[in-house]
Amino acid sequence: MAQQAGRTAGALLAARIAEQAAVLAGLEAAVRADEPDAVHRMRVASRRLRSALRAYGPPLREVVGELRWLASVLGLARDSEVLGARLLAQAGALPPECGRDELVTRLTRWSRELSERARPEVQAALDGPRYAALLARLAAEPPPGDGLPALSELARREQRRVAARLKAAVGGPDGDRELHEARKAAKWARYLGETAGLPADGFTARMKALQELLGEHQDSVVARAALLGLARDHPEEGFGYGVLYGGQLAVAERVRERLPDVRRRLRKAATWE
């Protein structure tokens, strides 16, 4: 594949790292102020950086690990926001006889408590030496990248991993985990497409659509686990939680029904020329 405007994989990756490192550092004030969507945007920047840095392999493995740590800290806050909003929207649509008002009240309080527990960890991470050291590492020049495979080849590897995970998920004993791994592979492929730019736009769009579809499934898995815990803690509201659980099962089933078509389209979807 000819790289974008004749640029090598190393040059494209270095530009991507510099761009996303600036995005990540620039979001720090917004995250500290708890501005809407700031945690999510910083988490995405950390993932895009990991995608670019992973291409270098062992030379940058340590900084990839530190970005994984940062994303996990941010994830506690972000996931609580997403999960709370998801369950509150579903509960609010229930008929009154399902205990709708009690569920909404309980879930509102529960969601707020989750967020309040996660916030101090984010602030402590941003205040700590580990985060400062990570920013310093990201500001350093990455290796030149001589001999790196073309971005299309790196993306093709992720696409093959997506296909293998989807195959394993169909009728397999651990389908939820395999679909989660397929989603992550689609995400890394998408980010590599973004790094390549305009020549990869079609591929990037396909991987984003797949990532979002499989994300719906993973969100339902997380929501079901939370609902089981809530039902155990508050058995007096168990019927309502059971109704919500059934709704999340239906979401997962709709995704699984689409998997055969997804697999066919994935086999036809080349990377880019």
Cα 227 to Cα 229: distance, rounded to the nearest angstrom: 5
> What pLDDT is attached to residue 1?
39
If one counts every other C-beta atom within 10 angstroms of the C-beta of residue 53, the result is 25
SS3 (DSSP) at 174: coil
> What pLDDT is attached to residue 6?
59
> What pLDDT is attached to residue 7?
79
Helix ranges (DSSP H) in the chain: 9-26, 28-32, 38-54, 61-92, 100-127, 129-139, 151-169, 175-196, 201-233, 238-268
> What pLDDT is attached to residue 2?
42
Cα 197 to Cα 44: distance, rounded to the nearest angstrom: 17
Do residues 88 and 108 lie in contact, with contact meaning Cβ atoms separated by under 8 Å? Answer: yes
Domains 1-148 and 149-273 share a fold: yes
In this structure, which CATH number among 1.20.120, 3.40.50, 2.30.30, 1.20.1740 belongs to the domain 149-273?
A: 1.20.120
- The encoded tokens of residue 127 equal 């205040």
| Domain range list for the chain | 1-148, 149-273
> What pLDDT is attached to residue 269?
66
What's the pLDDT tens digit per position in 229-270?
A: 999 999 999 999 999 999 999 999 999 999 888 888 887 666
Cα 193 to Cα 155: distance, rounded to the nearest angstrom: 7
> What pLDDT is attached to residue 146?
78
Render 214-226 in DSSP notation, one character per residue. Answer: HHHHHHHHHHHHH
Give the predicted TM-score (pTM) of the model.
0.89
- The encoded tokens of residue 240 equal 């309502």
> What pLDDT is attached to residue 58?
87
Q: For the chain, which residues score pLDDT lower than 50?
A: 1-3
> What pLDDT is attached to residue 236?
92
Write down the CATH number for the domain with range 1-148. Answer: 1.20.120
- The encoded tokens of residue 105 equal 């009240």
**Chain-centre distance for alpha carbon 143:** 27
